[in-house]
Chains A and B, each alone.
Chain A
């Protein structure tokens, strides 16, 4: 049998959630869900792994702190120590306190922008990218479940369509993958 993608559309998030639970309980793999808003709890039902973006934010932040320390040390201590009211200008440690605000700001700057850029790239959302939602109504009030037959070779086609039918969709669409 040719590989197919089945898009089942629901008019309510509860129906989709219950339907997904029903399918997963019967060993059907739901490959994705398209919704107009975040559905809390769907990740654990269909097995979406938790994102690691927060870890990247931490690493970008750490990079920012290091860059700020290295940069300020070079500019203020090594390259051109300035005499400001006769305060010690030869050691980073003794000037550290007045450098803290910029360490902090630069850490936040790097963490926030680094994470945001990673987020956009990982989501494939960049200016000019084409939208890939199966139906324009999924950004309004409809919810779509995507099931690939290639993921569900262990379920017979008949069983699969019966199981999907039980979930109470409002529309269904099948597309074959070339």
Chain B
């Protein structure tokens, strides 16, 4: 174990021991959930059911019940898809990229962020599937032998790359998450007393033993999975951006899209992590493990990625003028001043201007402000995708087909429904799964725990004895 610099603020506050970490994380699982949990679950279930109802109605009637028309052939569906995939980017980034960079503060957020990733990618995957109109033929996206020849899928198409990217991302994230969960499930298994819980966690923990060799393998697998997942994270949103960038629509046909989409995804993902974690830490009394310093670190990531997004917006504007292509110039002029000016300026305000407020230390260390900002950024990032998709389509090359897109109640219902399903899954996760990585938190207790750090230099602290040893 290495000693951490004294100037670094401790990551675990309070006078915690190994036992306390186990207790603090497992207590909410053993106890009966509070009434607010049931209330939130009920609200989410109602919204989810409404959303499922809308999807069933859509499948029964046809995609025509959405507000799409001949000119705007893609709107809320793909906006929601990209928004959810973007949110799904933070989890694996936190667990993979921050693991490679040895950022220990990720232990406060990685488990819940990975869960968020998995649920968000599930919601994202739903949109292309229901957009097909024939959900039951969804398996046609895979290259399976068939009686039409075999007629294969088109491997040159970014839409097919997306199929592979999203399904790889989903399954690898799921594996990564579950491998981390196994030891923690074992901790719960060895502790709970309710027979049904004991049985279920026994199955979930796969018979984890925690011997030296197992931990040795565990660390290696985590590291290699992080190494594999890091390029994967970047590839997934690059490929999502290719859906647009490889087309010839003015406003989409831009080489800046891949890096711009990736940083936008991280930006929105971290905002969603903030929204969820700020509630979770309060509800489950995890303030000792996730405190102002963690929030500040996340806000710093938000400033960096938000600024990259801002630079990308301005570069797009500049290049549209500098290219000298009149269609390209018009597409951007139309975004800012056309009938959708309100969405463009909502995007600009939420994503470019407001995150800059985090340069003030007072604001980025304020929990209330961070929560408020995380909601603003989530709204802003939804508008970003809406602006890119709808404003580029609604005025095409033939002015007689120019139109305006109005979402129908089904558009809104399906979107709301995915939020409902997402929160149902998240609430169930936070109730039955360890929301912090118990085993991994224990590895940083002695190097970053407040009680272990603070006495150093006075001759009787933990690290004084350890270095004298």
A complexed with B: yes
Interface string of A100-115 (1 = CB under 8 A from B): 0110111011011101
Q: Please give me the residue from chain A that is nearest to B160 by CB atom.
A: A102
Q: Please give me the residue from chain B that is nearest to A98 by CB atom.
A: B156
Instruction: Compute the total of residue contacts between A and B using a CB distance below 8 Å.
Output: 210
Do B164 and A106 have beta carbons less than 8 Å apart?
A: yes
> Is A43 on the interface with B (CB-CB < 8 A)?
yes
Do A53 and B224 have beta carbons less than 8 Å apart?
A: yes
- Pick from B183, B225, B235: contact of A139, CB under 8 Å: B183
**CB neighbours of A82 from chain B (8 A):** 152, 154, 156
Do B154 and A84 have beta carbons less than 8 Å apart?
A: yes
**CB neighbours of B440 from chain A (8 A):** 37
Do B224 and A14 have beta carbons less than 8 Å apart?
A: no
Do B19 and A38 have beta carbons less than 8 Å apart?
A: no
Do B18 and A141 have beta carbons less than 8 Å apart?
A: yes
Do B235 and A101 have beta carbons less than 8 Å apart?
A: yes
> Is A90 on the interface with B (CB-CB < 8 A)?
no
C-alpha spacing A35/B213, complex, angstroms: 11
C-alpha spacing A57/B221, complex, angstroms: 9
Do A116 and B212 have beta carbons less than 8 Å apart?
A: no
Do B152 and A125 have beta carbons less than 8 Å apart?
A: no
**CB neighbours of B216 from chain A (8 A):** 38, 43, 48, 50-51
- Distance in Å from the Cβ of A120 to the closest Cβ of chain B? 7
Do A57 and B228 have beta carbons less than 8 Å apart?
A: yes
Interface string of A76-119 (1 = CB under 8 A from B): 10011010100100000001001101101110110111011001
Do A131 and B191 have beta carbons less than 8 Å apart?
A: no
> Is B187 on the interface with A (CB-CB < 8 A)?
yes
Q: A84-B154, A112-B172, A113-B171 are in contact. Are A119 and B179 (CB under 8 A)?
A: yes
- Pick from B1, B22, B172, B189: contact of A108, CB under 8 Å: B172
- Pick from A84, A113, A125: contact of B207, CB under 8 Å: A125
C-alpha spacing A128/B189, complex, angstroms: 13
C-alpha spacing A53/B215, complex, angstroms: 13
Interface string of A6-24 (1 = CB under 8 A from B): 0000000110001000000
C-alpha spacing A119/B186, complex, angstroms: 17
Q: Total interface residues on A, using CB and 8 Å?
A: 67
> Is A5 on the interface with B (CB-CB < 8 A)?
no
Do A54 and B220 have beta carbons less than 8 Å apart?
A: yes
- Distance in Å from the Cβ of B323 to the closest Cβ of chain A? 23
**CB neighbours of A108 from chain B (8 A):** 168, 172, 228-229, 231-232
Do B206 and A129 have beta carbons less than 8 Å apart?
A: yes
- Distance in Å from the Cβ of B166 to the closest Cβ of chain A? 9
Interface string of B419-462 (1 = CB under 8 A from A): 00000000000000000001110110010000000000000000
Q: Please give me the residue from chain B that is nearest to A33 by CB atom.
A: B212
Give chain A's interface residues, CB within 8 Å of chain B. Answer: 13-14, 18, 32-43, 46, 48, 50-51, 53-54, 57, 61, 71-72, 75-76, 79-80, 82, 84, 87, 95, 98-99, 101-102, 104-106, 108-109, 111-113, 115-116, 119-120, 122-133, 136-141
> Is B345 on the interface with A (CB-CB < 8 A)?
no
- Distance in Å from the Cβ of A44 to the closest Cβ of chain B? 10
> Is B211 on the interface with A (CB-CB < 8 A)?
yes
Q: Please give me the residue from chain A that is nearest to B1 by CB atom.
A: A40
- Distance in Å from the Cβ of B458 to the closest Cβ of chain A? 19
Q: A116-B221, A139-B186 are in contact. Are A39 and B18 (CB under 8 A)?
A: no
22 A-B contacts, Cβ less than 8 Å apart?
Answer: A18-B469, A39-B212, A43-B212, A95-B156, A101-B235, A102-B161, A104-B235, A105-B232, A108-B232, A112-B229, A116-B225, A120-B206, A125-B205, A125-B206, A127-B206, A130-B207, A131-B189, A132-B209, A137-B190, A140-B191, A141-B17, A141-B19
Do B187 and A112 have beta carbons less than 8 Å apart?
A: no
Residues of B187-215 at the interface with A, using a CB-CB cut-off of 8 Å, are 187, 189-191, 202-203, 205-215
> Is B219 on the interface with A (CB-CB < 8 A)?
yes
Do B212 and A75 have beta carbons less than 8 Å apart?
A: no
C-alpha spacing A64/B183, complex, angstroms: 29
- Pick from B153, B190, B212, B239: contact of A48, CB under 8 Å: B212
Do B210 and A138 have beta carbons less than 8 Å apart?
A: yes
- Pick from B158, B202, B211, B466: contact of A32, CB under 8 Å: B211
Q: A38-B439, A128-B203 are in contact. Are A139 and B190 (CB under 8 A)?
A: yes
Q: Please give me the residue from chain B that is nearest to A141 by CB atom.
A: B18
**CB neighbours of A41 from chain B (8 A):** 1
> Is B175 on the interface with A (CB-CB < 8 A)?
yes
C-alpha spacing A130/B164, complex, angstroms: 36
**CB neighbours of A123 from chain B (8 A):** 208-209, 213-214, 217-218
> Is B149 on the interface with A (CB-CB < 8 A)?
yes
Q: Which 8 A-B pairs have the closest CB atoms?
A: A129-B207, A136-B190, A141-B18, A125-B206, A37-B442, A38-B215, A75-B152, A105-B164
**CB neighbours of A126 from chain B (8 A):** 206-207
Q: Please give me the residue from chain A that is nearest to B239 by CB atom.
A: A101
